[in-house]
Structure 1
């Protein structure tokens, strides 16, 4: 091996971390799991070490255990279950962002001392593949003072703009941990109803983007009878992979990156990772490019499909927080929704269930509430502004909001709300002056 002199252990990597260091790691499955899982072991000799993460999937002690909250700080571009749970420890904070600018704007603010992520073993030419994510990873790697890569043979070798030569890596750690997966859960009845509504708006040859969750999975399942779909998406999912395997996705009608499935990261099942391995039909490129609304709009017939937590009667979408409590992140929702509408014949869909069952704080009992609301919960972040919303979909139908007035939006959104809340929503709209008798 021509890179033997760069091989170190996890313990040696940890020994290089100093007080006040700023560390960036990869998104989702690109996390440096071996090193970060032991970061807490140096708590007795460092202070004020800050990590920056996105969609972390590893329940590491350094941020999950409140005993280390005075030593380690974490800033996250996108929250997951572990971050939501650990937020109460007081050392975790969210970075507001549109995903295509997440890395660029962060570098405008602070330069990382250390980048630590994972990659495939070097090929015969000395190049590793960053494999499953290039949202910000390569540009952070290039900006960091010290680059440490966990080399994992279980990662798929992917193509795009994520190859890095060993000469640009300071140290490597051999690992063989299993790659984190997202289960391919079966869509429920509501998911399938919503998926069917959206599928009716998708034509042969359209170029699609899907987000995370049951509803996007249901949309993918509803597209099996389409032909020659293209893919330009932030996240490559198991559902999109199944469409490609079935011959539904060919990319033949794309006018930008024809024949290629373009994304900026991938996360899903082992079957997805095996599909990606040495597959030249998939390009994983810099998130600053892939998610740029201008770049997205270069494909005619681009369709964006995302989900939200609640929508108010004017069309504002709160997709990342429940009131002031951070739940996930803006991610690429605005990027893809705006980009799709820039495209010739482009469309953007925001989907949600009409209701949710939540615990009443006063009684402790669970109750059904409407997710189409007169106004968003106090403190809620607006992930997609009412200026940028296009179609809103529930299991009761589709509301087209493009170009509509507030009073027209109120009427259309109430029509797709759960029937038991429609009269109440109308009364609230009258009280707020959104509509008049």
Structure 2
């Protein structure tokens, strides 16, 4: 065994002893989170004061998600998910609003502290390198700033190409584990999602480059693209939907105008089959999110198609994609990054997708004005196409009145009359 590697190998309990009170721990997105380290931190959480764990999309509800011990260890969400949402809505988990693309820069400028990094990693190669293939995201930037870098090395983590490599000399401690990487299946797709998917898929041309967000509607689009040809991928998340497009022959990246021949992503979340596909695959590169989500770089792909979901859209086109009124639900993520990238792209199209109603048809998701307190995600000046199961509203270049009419036209028929009356009251009709 490599002498330096052996000297840095330790147990999870020994690794968390490297923490100091007041530290901020940076943890990668989703499947990149290291369970052995976070379980050890949870078990010893009352030993610390004012330690924060900052992460996008926590996957497991660790014991440190505890309202009674938040003065010891507190979660700081960069994007809420199922594990962290209730803590955010109850007010005892913190939230940092930010564009996904800008998180590395915020860390490098010390606007978000990065004292410690806990991350999953592949086994070390003969050159002393580990791959953070599951999530390069903001973690690569944090490693440059951190006092302590602890890697949970696991043989089930794939080795990917790209800017996701960490050298042994950058690592403070190594914890070994072999439990399977967390898997996430494709979301369930109902009739409404399928109808929206058809609307979007019909507008995607052969030779387009795709950015696909996570969720039932984006995956409904993906399932209807298997007959397309020469598609490319430049996205933040690679999942099983994209893998299906590769297997069908729809994605080959041959007509990409930025990094032709390569799929590009910043984090992976899917099945064991996906992680196996990623391993040493020359077609795929994993890069920090400051690269993948930079609107200038992503927009160099001709025919860039961005597909992202929202919770509510008002008659000007403002999207509330991350909260239920004032209650946080998710986060900004990369939605704005890729809407802007698609708007820059030659022939690009940015789609905001949502069902026309919520609560089993009781309320309209197309609304006169956003519900008070709603966090605006994508602004009216950026939104291009809004899609429900009832059609497509194209907004860029349209007047406020034209926007309102187009959006009312894709609302559920049961709500169109009252939307028109509301539009008159706010002088949009």
TM-score by length of 1: 0.95
1:118 offset after TM fit, Å? 0.9
**1:69/1:90 contact within 8 Å kept:** no
1:233 offset after TM fit, Å? 0.7
CA distance in 1, matches of 2:196, 2:297: 28
Distance 1:236 1:88, change over 3 A: closer
CA distance in 1, matches of 2:101, 2:93: 22
Which digits, 9 at most, give the CA deviation of each residue in 1:165-204, with x for residues without a partner?
1111111000112212221234211111111111111111
3-state SS in 2 of match to 1:392: strand
Partner in structure 1 of residue 281 of structure 2 = 279
CA distance in 2, matches of 1:89, 1:220: 35
Segments of 5+ residues of structure 1 without an aligned counterpart are: 359-366
CA distance in 2, matches of 1:303, 1:201: 10
**1:301/1:344 contact within 8 Å kept:** yes
Segments of 5+ residues of structure 2 without an aligned counterpart are: none
> Where does 1:152-301 land on structure 2 (aligned, <5 Å)?
152-301=154-303
3-state SS in 2 of match to 1:172: strand
1:38 offset after TM fit, Å? 2.3
3-state SS in 1 of match to 2:150: strand
1:86 offset after TM fit, Å? 2.1
3-state SS in 2 of match to 1:38: helix
Which digits, 9 at most, give the CA deviation of each residue in 1:245-268, with x for residues without a partner?
111101111111101111111111
CA distance in 1, matches of 2:355, 2:24: 40
**1:72/1:91 contact within 8 Å kept:** no
Q: Segments of 4+ in structure 1 off by > 3 A?
A: 88-91
CA distance in 2, matches of 1:405, 1:74: 43
For residue 114 of structure 1, the aligned residue among 113, 116, 120 is: 116
TM-score by length of 2: 0.97
CA distance in 1, matches of 2:426, 2:159: 55
CA distance in 2, matches of 1:34, 1:229: 38
3-state SS in 1 of match to 2:43: helix
Partner in structure 2 of residue 362 of structure 1 = none
Partner in structure 2 of residue 74 of structure 1 = 75
CA distance in 2, matches of 1:20, 1:73: 11
For residue 369 of structure 2, the aligned residue among 349, 352, 375 is: 375
1:125 offset after TM fit, Å? 1.5
**2:47/2:72 contact within 8 Å kept:** no
CA distance in 1, matches of 2:139, 2:387: 34
> Where does 1:414-433 land on structure 2 (aligned, <5 Å)?
414-433=408-427
Per mean C-alpha deviation after superposition, the further-off stretch among 65-74 and 270-279 is 65-74
**2:314/2:366 contact within 8 Å kept:** yes
1:206 offset after TM fit, Å? 0.6
CA distance in 2, matches of 1:50, 1:77: 12
For residue 28 of structure 1, the aligned residue among 27, 30, 36 is: 30
Partner in structure 1 of residue 87 of structure 2 = 86
Number of matched pairs: 426
